[in-house]
Amino acid sequence: MAATVATVMTTMNPEVTSNGLGYVGKTEVEASGSSSTIVKKEEELEILIEFGGGLHLLFSQKPKHTIHIPCQIPQSDLPEAPDMRYLVRWLKENLLSERPEMFGEGDSVRPGILVLINDADWELEGELEYLLKDGDEVVFISTLHGG
Amino acid sequence: MSCGNPEGAVEGEEKEEVLMPTSRPVRRVDKAICNRCKKAKTSFIFRQGAYCSPCYEISLRSRFIRQLHPPLRPGAVKSTLTLYRPVVQSGQALIAVSGGAGSVAMLDMLMSRGYISRSDGAATNRTKGQKEAVWDKATVVYVEFASVTGRDERTEDIRKLSEDRGLGFIGLKVEDVYDAGLVSWLGGSERNADTSGVKVNFQQPNLPVSQEPTTSNTTPVERLQSLLASLPPASRPSLLSHILDHLLTLAALTLPNVSQLLLGETATRLAQRVISGTALGRGWTLPLELSNSFTLPDSQIVRMKPMKEISVKEAALWCRIHGLETVNYRGWDDVGPKGKEGRAKGGAASLEALTEQFIAGLSTTHPSTVSTINRTGDKLVFPGDTSGPICPLCEMPTEPDAMRWKARTALTSLTDPHSSLGSPTIAGIHTGDSTHDNFAPTLCYACLTTLSGGATDRTTGDGMVNLPPWVGQRVSTSQRMVAREQMREEIADFLLATEEE
C-alpha cells in the first residue's frame, strides 16, 4: 500500500493530543506508515500540502505538510503517474486524523472544500485527473461552517 | 410549424419555421485566458467565468463597493452610488469579525482601500491618490463560542488581527449573555431590574415562565449549557445564532458613538439563510434579516452586509491571496449532548447544516445556485410593521397570530390517553387566555418552533431552565403590556369617554 512506500514530513508537536475538535491526532510514525524517513528518494515526488479555513484541525493541527509519494501508483497493473484522485485517497489514509467524512466524499473531496493546484483553481487543471508533478503545491481550503 | 430544435431535423426535409428554439446558443469561453483582460492566464473560476488573479480582485472590490456605498449615502442618485466615496460618517464603525473568510476579507478590504483612518493619524494625501477615510474610528467585536463548541479559543488571534491594523477590539464570550455586568463592562449603564432569575418550563407547550430569586451558584457557562441541553440538537444552532445577534446588537447600542454595524455575511451564507430560514418558519422576518441596510430597533445604527454579493469561495480565495489565516468551521451542529434523534445524510443534526451541505453539493454541478437563491430572496418584502411587537428571543418583529398558526400545523398536546378512541387529536395551544405566565404567546412562529421541540426527556428536576436575562427582560415587558391591556378591557365599562368619543 501507499502507506508503506510514501513518507510524510511534518513537525508535529508530540504533546498535542487534541486537534481542536476534540480528537486525538496520530503520531508522526503512524502518519508516515512503517517508515519515518524524511529524505526524498529518486522514485518519489515531493508535494507541498497546505490546509486552510480550519481544515488543518483534522490534520494534526498542522497547516503545512511536505509529503513524498511514489512516482508511479503502487500495485497498479499499468505504470500510472499519481493523480489528484490518488493524492486525496493517500491523504485520507495517511494524514487525516479523524472524521474522514469532513474531508472526503467518494473519490473526491467534500463539496465546499476548495482545491488549488499551484495557486490555480483545480477545475482549470482537470480536478481529479490532474497528474501530479514534483514540487507541486496543493492547497485545500474548507468553506464549511457546520451549522 | 414547429417549436422544436432545427438541429434535429432530418436532412433533406423542408425546414420548418421555429417559434421557440428549445436550446439557446451557449456562450463558449476560453477558460485558459482571463475573461476580463483577455491576456493573462486564468487562475480562478467563478460562476462559469474565468479570471486571472488581478482581475479577480478588481471584480471582488467592485461588488464590495456596490453593497457598501448605498447605505452610507441614502439620499444619493442611484447611478452615482458606487462612483463616489461616501462622506465621512459621524460615528464609528463596529466590525463584527468571526475569524471566518467573509469577515476577515471584509476587514482587509476596508483597511486596504482606506475606508478607515489610519491609526498613525497621518493626513490623507490626495496628490498621491489617497482617498478620504469614511470612518475616523472603528472597533472590531468578536464573540467566542469555545465554551460550548469545545474548540480552541481564537480571541487572541482576532485581537492581534485588529490591533495590527490599529483598530479597537472588544472580545465577548457567548456565556456573557448570562452576565449581568456585561452592559457596564461595555461602558453603558444598567437600566433595568435584574431579570436573570426568569425560568421557563420546556415540558409544557405554553412554556410557562416564573420569576425566581437568583440564589443559584451556577456559572454563566453552566446556565448556557443547561439551556442548550434542554433543547433538541436541531434547535441549538438557531439559539446560538440569536445569542450572537443579541451580543452584536448590544455592543453596537452600548459602545459610544457607533453609527454602523458591519457583518461579513457572504452570499453563500445568505443563500443558506433563505432556505433554512424558510424551513424553520422564519419567512415573516426573512426580508429584514437578508437586508443590507437594516436600522436596529430604537436606534439610528444601521446594520450592513457589504459582502452580500461575494461568495464564501471568493472570500476564502481573497484571504488565501493576501495571506490571512481563517477558520470557517464553527461547529454549531455538534453543540451540546447528543440526543436520541437520528442524523440526516452527512451527519447533519440541524436544518442549517443540512442546507449548507445541500447548497455546497448543488453548487458543484450548478454554479449559479447561490445567486439564484439570493435573487429570489431579494424579492421578498416585509409585510408587517417594524414598530410592532418584538419577539423576546430573536428580537425581530412578531407576526400576528403565531400561536394560531402553530396550533393548526402541529400537534402540541394529546388528549386523554384513556379516552375511548385513544388517538391523538389537535388540542392546540391556548391562544386567548391566561397569557400572564406563558412565554409561548410572546414568541414569533419560528422561535416558538425552535423552543417547542419536545424537551420532555432532556430537562432534569423540575424542568425549569434559566432564560438569558435579555429574554427575561423582554418577556416581563410584554407581560406587563398584556396585563395592561387585559386590565383596560376589564374596567372598560367604568372608563370615562374622551371628548372625541
**Cβ pair A139:B320 closer than 8 A:** yes
DSSP notation for B72-130: H-TTS-GGGTTTSPPPPPSSEEEEE--SSHHHHHHHHHHHHTT-B--TT-PPP-GGGT-
- Is B356 a residue whose pLDDT tops 90? yes
Q: Which helix (H) or strand (E) holds B65?
A: helix B53-72
Pick the more confident residue, A32 or B172: B172
Q: Where are the domains of chain A?
A: 2-142
- pLDDT band of B213, cuts 50, 70, 90: low
Q: Where are the domains of chain B?
A: 33-87, 88-120+132-336+348-485
Determine contact, residues B198/B209, Cβ cutoff 8 Å.
Answer: yes
Mean pLDDT is lowest, of A34-38, A55-59, A108-112, for A34-38
**pLDDT at residue A14 in the model:** 41
Q: How far apart are CA A68 and CA A45, in angstroms?
A: 5
**Residue A119 near chain B (CB below 8 Å):** yes
**pLDDT at residue B442 in the model:** 86
Using DSSP's 3-state secondary structure scheme, residue A51 falls into: strand
Question: Closest Cα of chain A to B83: distance in Å?
Answer: 31
Alpha-carbon dihedral sign for residues B373, B374, B378, B383: positive
Could you report the per-residue pLDDT of B43-99, keeping only the tens digit for each?
A: 998 876 889 999 999 999 999 999 999 899 877 666 666 668 888 898 999 999 999
**pLDDT at residue A22 in the model:** 41
Using DSSP's 3-state secondary structure scheme, residue B184 falls into: helix
**Cβ pair B353:A146 closer than 8 A:** yes
Q: Which of B282, B450, B237 is nearest to A146 (CA)?
A: B237
Could you report the per-residue pLDDT of B382-435, keeping only the tens digit for each?
A: 988 888 888 989 999 988 877 787 777 776 666 555 544 444 333 333 434 444
Q: Mean pLDDT in chain B?
A: 81
Mean pLDDT of B444-455: 79
Q: Which of A21, A53, A110 sits opposite B101 (nearest CB)?
A: A53
Could you report the per-residue pLDDT of B263-308, keeping only the tens digit for each?
A: 999 999 999 999 999 999 999 999 999 999 999 888 899 999 999 9
Question: What phi, psi does B300 have (nearest 5°)?
Answer: -105, 10
Q: How far apart are CA B454 and CA B231, in angstroms?
A: 8
Per this entry, what is the length of chain A? 147
Any idea which architecture A2-142 has in CATH?
Roll (3.10)
Q: Which of B328, B346, B363 sits opposite A142 (nearest CB)?
A: B328
Quote the ipTM score.
Answer: 0.81
**Cβ pair B330:A145 closer than 8 A:** yes
CATH (one of 3.90.580.10, 3.40.640.10, 3.40.50.620, 3.30.565.10) for B88-120+132-336+348-485: 3.40.50.620
Chain A residue closest in CA terms to B102: A143
**pLDDT at residue B438 in the model:** 79
Could you report the per-residue pLDDT of B142-190, keeping only the tens digit for each?
A: 999 999 998 889 999 999 999 999 999 999 999 999 888 888 888 877 6
Pick the more confident residue, A107 or B123: A107
- Is B211 a residue whose pLDDT tops 80? no
Chain A residue closest in CA terms to B41: A120
In chain B, residues with a C-beta closer than 8 Å to the C-beta of A53 are 101, 316, 326-329
In chain A, residues with a C-beta closer than 8 Å to the C-beta of B43 are 119-121, 124
% of residues, chain B, pLDDT over 90: 41
- Is A83 a residue whose pLDDT tops 50? yes
A69 CB-near residues (< 8 Å, 6+ apart): A2, A5, A6, A44, A45, A47, A82, A86, A87, A90, A132
**pLDDT at residue B424 in the model:** 39
